A = this chain, B = another copy of it.
Amino acid sequence: MTMTLYGRDLITTQDWPVEYIERALELAVEFKEDRYNHPLRNCLDRRTFAMFFYNPSVRTRQSFEAAATELGGHAQFLEPKSMRLKSAKSAGETIEDAAKVMSRYFVGIGIRILETAIEEYGQGDELLREYAQHASIPIVSMAHDRFHPCQGLADVMGMRQHAGDLKGKKLLQVWGKGALVRSWSSVQESILINSRLGMDVTLCHPEGYDLDPEVIKWCEENAEASDSTFEIVHDLEEGYDGANFVYSRNWMTSDFYDLASKHGIEEAKKRETQKAMKYDDWITTKDWMDKADDAFFTHCGPVDRNSEVTDEVVDGPKSIVYDIAENRLHVQKAVMALTMARTEAEDYPPEEFGI
C-alpha cells in the first residue's frame, strides 16, 4: 500500500485516515528519540512555512517556529491584521489571490484563528477550508474555533509514552472552572482522535456546556467503528470512576458568540468567567484523582492552576503535562516533514518513509 501525505491539509485529524495519523505519530516518536540527527533532519532545507496568527499564541508559535527551524527551514511569523485582506467592510486582496500567491513562495501555511477573531462558531473552520481550496500547498491548523489537530496528536503521543497501548483505557475529558474562557478546539480534537483510536472516552461537563453536536455525533461514530465507548455525563463521581487519564480543561458555553456580538468581547468574557467560576467542585484535586484508577493527569497547556487543577495534581508524579507540551514540537515536525517535503521523502528509504 502506498500512502501519500505530501500535499495534504491538516484541519482536523478527523479528516485523515487512521493510517496517516499513525504514520505521523510514528515519525514524531523517531524525532523525539533522534532530535537533531534524524535522516529527515534537513528535509525543509531553506524552505519557508508561513504562520498566520489571526490570534496570538504562546506555545503554538514557539513550537511551530522551532519545528520549521529543526527541519532546516524557516517559519515566517505573519499577522493578517497588517495584510490588507479583503473583508465585508474594506477593499483588499481576496483569500483566493492571497492563497495562490503564497503557494508560489511557501511549502505550507499554518493558520490560527479563535473565537475572538470571528463572529460565529464555524467561521474559523470555513476560513481554513477556503485557504485549502485555493492553495496548492498544505494548510495546517494551528488551533481554530473547531479543531486543534496537532494538540490531539501530542496528547495521544504523550499518553502512549506513559501507558503504552491505549485501547480500552478510559479517558475522562472533564470541564474545569477558570477565568480564561477557553476555546473548544483542543477538547473537541481530543475526544475525536481518542474515540477514533479506540479509547473509552467519557466527556463530563456541567449542564449548559455542550460542545458542537456534529463533533459529538462523529465521536459516537468513531467509538462504534473502533469498538470502544463514548459517553457524556454531568456527574463528576461517574466521570472519575475508573479513569486511566484525566484531562481537565475549561471551555466556554455556546452563548459566547451571542454575548460577544451584543455586548462586546470583554463583557462576554466577563460573563462567561462569572458563570464558570461558580462551579467550585469542577477542579481536578487529589481527592478526585483518588477516585480514578491511578490515573495520569494530562492537559494541553497552558494550565490555569488552581482553577482547572490543583498544584498538587499538576506537579504530582502522575502529571504528564510537560511531556505533552514537548510533543507539540515532535508531532508538528512530523506533520511538516510528511506533508511539505517532497524531494526528501523520495530520498528517504521508502520502507521507512513511505508505506
Interface residue ranges, A against B (CB under 8 Å):
36, 41-42, 45-48, 50, 56-59, 61-63, 65-66, 69-74, 76-78, 82-84, 90-94, 97-98, 100-102, 104-106, 178-180, 301-305, 307, 322, 325-326, 329
Pairwise interchain contact B322-A100, C-beta atoms closer than 8 A: yes
A252 vs chain B, min Cβ distance (A): 14
Given contacts A48-B69, A58-B98, 12 further A-B contacts (CB under 8 A): A36-B45, A36-B47, A41-B46, A56-B83, A62-B76, A62-B102, A66-B105, A69-B74, A91-B179, A91-B307, A97-B302, A98-B302
Pairwise interchain contact B46-A58, C-beta atoms closer than 8 A: no
Selected A-B contacts with CB under 8 Å, 9 pairs: A48-B69, A56-B82, A58-B84, A58-B93, A59-B105, A65-B74, A66-B106, A69-B73, A92-B180
Q: Which of B69, B76, B101 contacts A65 (CB 8 A)?
A: B76
Closest to A104 in B: B326
**Contact residues in B for A61 (Cβ distance below 8 Å):** 76, 78
Contacts A98-B58, A302-B93; A329 near B104 (Cβ below 8 A): yes
A94 vs chain B, min Cβ distance (A): 6
CA distance A102 to B62 in the complex (A): 8
A104 vs chain B, min Cβ distance (A): 4
Q: Which of B58, B76, B104 contacts A325 (CB 8 A)?
A: B104
**Contact residues in B for A91 (Cβ distance below 8 Å):** 178-180, 304, 307
Pairwise interchain contact A101-B69, C-beta atoms closer than 8 A: no
Pairwise interchain contact A105-B303, C-beta atoms closer than 8 A: no
Closest to A59 in B: B101
CA distance A90 to B83 in the complex (A): 29
Closest to A83 in B: B58
**Contact residues in B for A46 (Cβ distance below 8 Å):** 36, 41-42, 69-72
A106 vs chain B, min Cβ distance (A): 7
**Contact residues in B for A72 (Cβ distance below 8 Å):** 46
A325 vs chain B, min Cβ distance (A): 4
A107 vs chain B, min Cβ distance (A): 10
A158 vs chain B, min Cβ distance (A): 12
Pairwise interchain contact B58-A94, C-beta atoms closer than 8 A: no
**Contact residues in B for A41 (Cβ distance below 8 Å):** 46
CA distance A92 to B180 in the complex (A): 7
A289 vs chain B, min Cβ distance (A): 19
Pairwise interchain contact A302-B105, C-beta atoms closer than 8 A: no
